[in-house]
Amino acid sequence: MISQPHQYPTSYKPWSHLKTDDPEVYSHIEAELHRQRYSLEMIASENFVCQSILAGAGNPLTNKYAEGLPHKRYYGGCEHIDAIESLAISRACSLFSCHYANVQPHSGASANNAVFLALLQPGDRILGLDLSHGGHLTHGSPVNISGMYFQAHCYGVDPQTELLDYDIIRERAKEVQPQLIIAGASAYPRVMDFAAFANIAKEVGAYLLVDMAHIAGLVAAGLHPSPLPHAHVTTTTTHKTLRGPRGGMILWNDNSLSAKLNKGVFPGTQGGPLEHIIAMKATCFHLAHREEFQTLQQKTIKNAQAFATTLKEHGCHLVTGGTDNHLILLNLLHSNLTNHKDSNQVTGKDLEAALDQVHITTNKNTVPGEKRSPFVTSGVRFGSPALTSRGLLTQDFKLIAKWVAQILESLQNQKTHDTEPPCFASIRKQVKELCSKYPLYPEW
Ligand SMILES: *Cc1c(COP(=O)(O)O)cnc(C)c1O
């Protein structure tokens, strides 16, 4: 028997006034909420914030201009804004055990831009992880300002182990003589050794920037070594594993960098801060001190590992062979699950689209040694944070991994593209049942 979708009561929602004031936007928001409820969110950079942060982000602080820093503003009437931003700063410093924080960056990319402006001159050399090996666009890609205004160079992972090799990085650093080394990734499933990065930076006289956007929640929970004792500057997003509102932040310990970094944010690269979001960053840091947060982050890693193990049991090849954190990178170049000699070459784009058909949301991703374009790719990235926040258990992650392997195998065996492979319908039905079992924002 098919269970009925969970019946959501229609209690007060923060966006309910739009129903009369702007029904068009209201209906799109409702449709998006429905999509989130009835799909399995496995994009590694996404999460579901708790209801208090979601609702709390719609607050009157959005009305206020507060250019400057607490107690040093260009506008009057900032006493409550000052109290909230000061609280966010002190909570950020306490959570990550550091001396200084700027909580104003609108996003991870904005945080990085502020750091570049603060520490570099146009034309300086930067050294970051190759995009196709798991790096980020803001670490020197030619289509990003970091690759346009600076001479960007990259290091890669070891082609055999697919792990960072600090001897290779040291060699690259000696060749390039960068002013700034960037450690951090958006698709690297293993622990990073920030002390090793710091030693290399010291040897070549470069600043070390650690961008911990993906792993900040794990760091806050003590489940990944912290970069703060090692990096000159650390940037992060607040909305990935950290599970706060969408935004960025800069952290550091050396007071001689404070003026430069603060000016790098404002007036360097941003205008007025989003104080309504900064309030929710403060709440996020408060919640991250709790034991429940620690448990959530532990489960996030455990679920990612169970997902990885199940994929491997079904014959899938994972970049680095598994995961230490919240993300899994499936390598399609080596994952042939069929016995047919003439099986199809499935790309990241194909698998992402097929998973979308059964409402499992992922993203295609380049893999080390990538030969295809970033629009096609030979990998798919999965992450456990969102579904772990939603309450799914390890057994559920194993089930989803089994479905992913079934879908991949059916794509590899598919003879014609006119009809959908037979397993899709039954998986789609089971996805819907699993979603109903774990209602998202049930009060709404
Ligand atoms: C997500 C991410 C960013 C960018 O964050 P946005 O908020 O999307 O600007 C920067 N660096 C890394 C490593 C990331 O994973």
Structure confidence by residue, pLDDT tens digits, 366-421: 999 999 999 999 999 999 999 999 999 999 999 999 999 999 999 999 888 788 99
Going by C-alpha positions, the residue among 247, 237, 242 that lies closest to residue 211 is 237
Mean pLDDT in residue range 273-296: 98
**Which ligand 1 atom sits nearest the alpha carbon of residue 109?**
9
Cβ 337 vs Cβ 405: under 8 Å: yes
pLDDT tier for residue 49 given thresholds of 50, 70 and 90: very high
Distance 430 CA to ligand 1 centre (A): 33
Active site residue 211: yes
pLDDT at residue 351 tops 80: yes
Angle CA 76–82–87, to nearest 5: 175
User: Is 12 buried (19+), middle (13-18) or exposed (0-12) by CB count in 10 A?
Assistant: exposed
Mean pLDDT in residue range 38-42: 98
Distance 399 CA to ligand 1 centre (A): 29
- Which pairing describes strands 207-211 and 233-237: parallel, antiparallel, or unpaired? parallel
Mean pLDDT in residue range 102-113: 98
Residue 8 gets the label, from left (phi > 0), alpha (psi -120 to 50) or beta, of: beta
Active site residue 236: no
Whole-model pTM over 0.75 = yes
Best mutation site among 107, 146, 234, 381 for ligand 1, i.e. most ligand atoms within 8 A of its Cβ?
107
Which is more confident, 418 or 44?
Answer: 44
Active site residue 155: no
State the Cα–Cα distance between residues 168 and 188, nearest whole angstrom.
17
Instruction: Identify the pLDDT of residue 167.
Output: 97
Mean pLDDT in residue range 353-377: 95
